[in-house]
Amino acid sequence: MSIVKLVNVTKRFGGITALRGISLSIEDGEYVCILGPTGAGKTTLLRIIAGLVEPDEGEIYIEGRRVNGVPPERRNAVYMFQNFALFPHMTVWENVSFGPMVKEWSSEKIENVTSETLEMVRLGERRDAYPSELSGGMQQRVALARGIAAGARILLLDEPFGALDARLRVNLRTQLRSLVKDQGLTAIHVTHDQEEALMVADRIVILREGRIEQTGLPQDIYNHPKSIFVMSFVGGANFLDGVVSRVTGSGSTIEIRGGLRIRVSDTSNGAGERVVVGVRREDVSLGKSRKRGFNNLVGEVLDVMFVGGSIEYVVRLENDMTMLSRILLGEGSMAFKEGDMVIVSFHPSECHVFQYPERGLLKEIEAI
Ligand SMILES: Nc1ncnc2c1ncn2[C@@H]1O[C@H](COP(=O)(O)OP(=O)(O)O)[C@@H](O)[C@H]1O
Ligand SMILES: [Mg+2]
């Protein structure tokens, strides 16, 4: 049974439609990331699940029960956890035992639940500290403990690492995920950071302008993006627009600017159709010679950048378009420098072909 289910949920704020007919089921124990650019409706979606906002249309079910109109404090299983909203004048212990106290449990039960939860987030020894004496990461764990102690089984996380520095954020991601998994909780984690979503999610839901654009396993979203927007938002890519000039049984030929031709394995568009070819930077290699069976275009290296464990090259093609190539730093990789003439190679099967978007190409990739 789904632990959270939304059926056809729509929400408007005056003239703005924040959510348009969202249907989504989340399974017990799942770690789901809602990924989308600013303004996509992510926060609204979480607030609707939490009961902080009522939808204009549609149904919300939590643990099988319809909860439309049920106030947040009576959606017991749910805990909205935002920028560690701890009580600053209370100790760690007092913060975490707050929920159980409000529920008027026996002092023994309060004691047990509070210490167990603090152990769970490995903060048992800091029980007498005040939030201001803790690091950002610890405060976050206290906030989480407070929700869990209050009986939350479904954690709603709205950009939980937004304010933290990059390195801490990466550590906390994995810690949070392990905690959720170890405790058998369900997490709905909102983020605009595709790397974060790819790293922690069991399943990613891509939200765009209030609609679900695609949902799937991280590797499916990455390997089979359904749209230019998804490909551009998750992982990024080169986008070359052109017209299909020929279709055969084994693939098609696409003519791009300057009369250059690209072979693609895809055959879903007919001759004459306007299309966009997306190629991941990491699927584009640079060399001194042409590779058999690949597309080989001639270009000049404009710029060389180091990104983590790889090098990113900006190459200008003969037709003046630029392509990015990302190559892992390693023994086998040949280094090029600005001004070098190179052969840019990518395989027909690595080309994702999309219909030319109605609103133009830039509109689909501008969010990046
Ligand atoms: N309380 C509100 N009043 C008016 N407009 C709102 C309100 N909350 C959200 N919106 C609008 O709804 C859209 C979605 O917002 P939001 O859910 O916050 O997106 P996200 O979290 O993805 O950035 C935006 O256009 C935003 O301006
Ligand atoms: Mg938001």
Percent of the chain with pLDDT over 70: 96
Question: Same domain, yes or no, for 265 and 196?
Answer: no
What integer is the mean pLDDT of 180-206?
93
202 and 268 co-located in one domain? no
Q: Which two tokens stand for residue 1?
A: 């049974």
Check pLDDT > 90 for residue 204. yes
Three-state secondary structure call for residue 314: strand
The whole-number average pLDDT for the span 42-70 is: 96
Q: What is the pLDDT of residue 22?
A: 98
The whole-number average pLDDT for the span 191-203 is 94
| C-alpha–C-alpha distance, residues 225 and 146, integer Å | 38
Q: Which ligand approaches the C-alpha of residue 20 most closely?
A: 1
Show the domain range for 276.
Answer: 232-365
With 0-12 CB in 10 A as exposed, 13-18 as middle and 19+ as buried, what is 145? buried
Region of 253 on the Ramachandran plot (φ > 0 left; ψ -120 to 50 alpha; else beta): beta
Domain closes at, from 197, 231, 265: 231
- The whole-angstrom separation of Cα 147 and Cα 160 is 14
Q: What is the CATH number of the domain that holds 315?
A: 2.40.50.140
Same domain, 71 and 95: yes
Are both 183 and 250 inside the same structural domain?
no
* 188, HSE (Cβ side, Cα atoms, 13 Å): 30
Nearest CA to ligand 1 atom 7: 13
- Domain end among 183, 198, 231: 231
Arithmetic mean of pLDDT, 102-112? 89
Q: Please report, in angstroms and rounded to a whole number, the separation of the first and last CA atoms in the chain.
A: 36
| Same domain for 87 and 159 | yes
Q: Assess whether 242 and 221 both reside in one domain.
A: no
240 and 226 in one domain? no
CA-atom Rg of the chain in angstroms: 25
Q: What value does the mean pLDDT take over residues 42-61?
A: 96
List the single range of 166-175, 180-189, 305-314, 316-325 with lowest mean pLDDT.
Answer: 166-175
**C-beta of 15 in contact with ligand 1 (< 6 A):** no
Residue 124 is part of a domain; what is its CATH number? 3.40.50.300
pLDDT of residue 163: 64
Domain co-membership, 56 together with 159: yes
Q: Ligand 1 in contact with 19 (CB < 6 A)?
A: no
Residues 184 and 68 both lie in one domain: yes
Query: So what's the pLDDT on residue 368?
Result: 47
Q: 123 and 92 in contact (C-beta within 8 Å)?
A: yes
Cα of 45 from ligand 1 centre, angstroms: 10
Predicted pLDDT of residue 28: 96
* Total structural domains within the chain: 2
The predicted-structure confidence for 230-282, as pLDDT tens digits, reads as follows 999 999 999 999 999 999 999 999 999 999 999 999 999 999 999 999 999 99
- 39 phi and psi angles, rounded to 5 deg: 90, 0
Atom of ligand 1 nearest to the CA of 19: 14
Q: Is 258 exposed, middle or buried (0-12, 13-18, 19+ CB in 10 A)?
A: exposed
- Looking at residue 81, its pLDDT comes to 67
pLDDT score of 367 more than 60:
no
Give residue 143's pLDDT. 86
CA gap 304, 309 in Å, rounded? 14
323 CA → ligand 1 middle, Å: 35
Name the band, by pLDDT with cuts 50, 70 and 90, for residue 77: confident
Phi and psi, residue 322, nearest 5°: -110, 150
Domain boundary among 231, 248, 265: 231
Q: Are residues 206 and 311 in the same domain?
A: no
Q: Secondary structure of 22-34 in the HEC alphabet?
A: EEEEEECCCEEEE
Question: How confident is the model over 133-185, as pLDDT tens digits?
Answer: 998 778 878 888 888 888 888 999 888 877 667 777 787 788 889 888 988 99
Cα of 43 from ligand 2 centre, angstroms: 4
Q: List the one residue out of 242, 239, 264, 238 whose CA is nearest residue 253.
A: 264
The confidence score (pLDDT) of residue 167 equals: 74
- Decide which of 72 and 17 is more confident: 17
Instruction: Tell me how far apart the alpha carbons of residues 345 and 190 are, in angstroms, rounded to a whole number.
Output: 37
Regarding the beta carbon of 36 and ligand 1, being less than 6 Å apart is answered yes
Helices H / strands E in the chain, number of each: 9, 20
Residue whose Cα lies nearest atom 16 of ligand 1: it is 41
The vertex-307 CA angle with 303 and 312, nearest 5°, equals 35
**CA pair distance 251, 247, nearest whole angstrom:** 6
Shared-domain flag, residues 248 and 325 = yes
Cα 169 to Cα 124, 174, 242: the distances in Å are 22, 9, 40
**CB of 344 closer than 6 angstroms to any ligand 1 atom:** no
278 CA distance to ligand 1 centroid (A)?
A: 31
- Looking at residue 79, its pLDDT comes to 74
Specify the pLDDT at position 307: 84
Residue 331: band (very low, low, confident or very high) from pLDDT cuts 50, 70, 90: low
Pairing of strands 310-317, 295-307: antiparallel
Highest mean pLDDT among 77-81, 95-99, 114-118, 294-298: 294-298
Closest CA to 233 of 195, 259, 180, 189: 195
**What whole-number percentage of the chain has pLDDT above 90?**
73
Residue 329 confidence (pLDDT): 84
Residues 267, 198 share a domain: no
pLDDT at 102: 81
Return the structure tokens found at 26: 């989340």
| pLDDT averaged over every residue in the chain | 92
pLDDT of residue 56 exceeding 70, the answer is: yes
What's the number of CA atoms in the CB half-sphere (13 Å) around residue 285?
16
Which is nearest to 278 in space by CA: 205, 224, 211, 316? Answer: 224
Query: Which DSSP helix (H) or strand (E) runs through 109?
Result: helix 107-120
HSE value, Cβ hemisphere, 13 Å, CA-based, for 18: 19
